[in-house]
Structure 1
Amino acid sequence: MSQKLDEIKAPIAPVMEEFERKFRESMKSPVPLLDRITHYIVKRKGKQMRPMFVFLSAGLHGPVGDTSHRAATLIELLHTATLVHDDVVDDSNERRGFFSLNALWKNKIAVLVGDYLLSKGLLLSIGNKDFRLLELVSEAVKVMSEGELLQIEKARRLDITEDIYYEIIRRKTASLIAACCACGASSAGASDETVQQMHRFGELIGIAFQIKDDLFDYGPEGVIGKPTGIDIKESKMTLPLIHALSKASQADKKRIIHIIKNHNTDNKKVREVIRFVESSGGITYATERMYHYQEEAFRLLDTFPANAYRDSLRSLVRYTTERPL
């Protein structure tokens, strides 16, 4: 899998190395506690898919320069801030196999570190007069927050329809990937129309990516560190489950919702829900929808001139949506 990512990264490999150095620099603070915490954040970084989307989108439309680096840094700072705050909200002690900040340094410090990262991103943009980038990313953070709140509101009643599900994931997950692609294009001097097209491209990828993440809940135990049935245990209404419930009899629907509400910590009952979703065609349906959004993204991507960056973007989309269950 890492070899595949190295191949995708090939057109931007030197840029990504430079980005890592610049990102470390952007996190520095004269306050020793903050510096220790930001060093910990940098050390446990993930695959850095979002900066990759920024740089590949920039290269697709023009030169990858300092503005592209600032776009990737801004995205990564704000994304990291939202993850830190999410862990506090979710009372989560782990992220990507590492202890979360709130587990190591408690909630108050974690919230303040999240605020610090947000402010560093804002100052980076303002200091360089990157107002368009700041506008795109600030809009994404606003939309992400709305998506989280919409999900919380609907999750209480477990009455999420497919339309509402798409609205939630468009806001919660797809908005940031959309901002990556839009910021990348904008940083390379693309027109407003092209920036909007790249925003839509990123949105389509984000929706497909989230559906794939939903499907992991029904895959073999322990895949990519996500245990089977975790979404059910957290009473999250995912696309396979929503579709299965929409096809169920009133009695089955009532039984499954009762399990999700009252027995979601019982592994035997959770397996019953998983079997219900599988036998109702929920997994097949969600997989078809994921490929529908992937294909729509490819059609949009193919309207741009062919080059190495376009090829890598196509491969990156496949990588994010075709990870094995």
Structure 2
Amino acid sequence: MPNLDEIKRPIERELNVFEEKFKASMQSSVPLLDRVTHYIVKRKGKQMRPMFVFFSASLCGGITEATYRGAVLVELLHTASLVHDDVVDNSFERRGFFSINALWKNKIAVLVGDFLLARGMHLSINNNDLNLLSIVNDAVQQMSEGELLQMEKARKVDTDEGVYYEVIRRKTASLIASCCACGAASSGTDAGTIERMRLFGEKIGIAFQIKDDLFDFGTDDVGKPLGIDIKEKKITLPLIYSLNKVSRSEKHRIINLVKNHNEEPEKVSEVIHFVRNTGGMAYAEMQMHRFQEEAFDILKSFPDHEARTGLEQLVRFTTERNK
């Protein structure tokens, strides 16, 4: 599998231009805001979302100025959601750096997140990109609903496979779907093609989240610490499958561990070993590959193109990564 730098190479120039436009989109006359947004820009991530936008636009007709605005809009939304999530989760670290709320407290973090959302809307309205704004606005709504649905189910420790897919479709997949749809829409293609790319992104987002959930039960050399989801009472696909494979009494025993003993390391370890020993990881991995193949089938409906290769490699990267 190519590394991320190799995958980026065909759109490296576009990503560099995007970075400058993204920085410019956050500029403010308020010094405190500028300090916070400068800190955000310094902690640049993998650029996965802009890559989906640019490759999708290139595949569907070509990269335009609207493509850059779409990439900036999605990244502003994503950054705002991370800032707000850290406040909600009372988290003081992200990607090895202090979170915004850790350095500037919750009130400032919430206002910065609001500012980033407002900047995204301003960018779209000023350039009459109402189609892009509509796509991203739908993702914001879905992400909020998905988060609340997951919180509700975590309180009851009650999630079946159907609800699990609904949560991750809204919470995670909707954002990647909006990247692909924005890229397609910015190229000027037709509504049918935009929908195909949206569905492609949704399937990748679901596969991505299943992969992330697998890390919770994986070996100790992965990037994500084990048992985090269990400690947060999140019932994910590996555990759902395993619970459905055992007797009612065993199912109740494991649910009780998750519900009432999720802060005890030995009990969390017991749940992890239960999932490993009852086929939960193998089943979740099989479902992840199913969504990956469905995404590849959508890509095959497009002509052979450098951008199609780039998207195929991105798909593999999201499902074969080790952290």
| TM-score under structure 2 length normalisation | 0.98
- Structure 2, gaps ≥5 residues long: none
Distance in 2, Cα, partners of 1:136 & 1:321? 25
Query: How far does residue 248 in structure 1 lie from its aligned partner after superposition?
Result: 1.4
Counterpart of 1:74? 73
- Shift, 1:111, TM fit: 0.3
Residues 263-282 of structure 1 aligned to structure 2 (within 5 Å) = 263-282=261-280
* Aligned counterpart, 1:40: 39
Secondary structure, counterpart of 1:201 in structure 2: helix
Q: What is aligned with 1:211?
A: 210
Q: Which amino acid aligns with 2:230?
A: I
Distance 1:93 1:6 in 2: 29
AA in 1 matched with 2:297: R
Preserved contact between residue 222 and residue 228 of structure 1 (Cα < 8 Å): no
Q: Where do 1:1-325 residues align within 5 Å?
A: 4-221=3-220, 223-224=222-223, 226-324=224-322
SS where residue 304 of structure 2 aligns?
coil
The one-character-per-residue Cα deviations of 1:7-65 (angstroms, maximum 9, x if unpaired) are 11121110001111111111111111000000000001210100000000000012212
CA distance in 2, matches of 1:251, 1:195: 48
Aligned counterparts of 2:247 and 2:99: Cα–Cα separation in 1: 42
Shift of 1:192: 0.5
Q: Read off the aligned partner of 1:46 and give its amino acid letter.
A: G
- 1:324 deviates by 3.1
Unaligned runs of 5+ in 1: none
Q: Work out the CA distance in 1 between the residues paired with 2:164 and 2:15.
A: 34
Under a length normalisation based on structure 1, what TM-score does the superposition of the two structures give?
Answer: 0.98
- Structure 1 stretch displaced more, 130-139 or 4-13: 4-13
- Matched letter for residue 193 of structure 1: G
SS of 2:156's partner is: coil
Identity %: 63
Q: Give the partner amino acid of 1:118.
A: L
1:47 match: secondary structure = coil
Change (3 A) 1:265 1:222: farther
| Structure 2 counterpart SS, 1:212 | helix
- Aligned alpha-carbon RMSD (Å): 1.1
Contact 1:84 1:114 survives alignment (8 Å)? yes
CA–CA distance in structure 1, aligned partners of residues 135 and 182 of structure 2: 7
CA distance in 1, matches of 2:74, 2:219: 32
Structure 2 residue matching 1:160: 3-state secondary structure:
coil
Q: Which amino acid aligns with 2:258?
A: I
CA distance in structure 2 between the partners assigned to 1:252 and 1:103 by the alignment: 41
Task: Report how far residue 222 of structure 1 moved.
Answer: 5.4
- Contact 2:154/2:232 (<8 A) preserved: no
The Cα of 1:139 is off from its aligned counterpart by: 0.5
State the alpha-carbon separation in 2 of the partners of residues 268 and 191 from structure 1.
Answer: 55
Q: Quick check: 2:239–2:280 contact (8 Å CA) kept in 1?
A: yes
- Alpha-carbon contact 1:88-1:107 (below 8 Å) kept: yes
Separation in structure 2 between the aligned mates of residue 42 and residue 324 of structure 1, nearest angstrom: 25
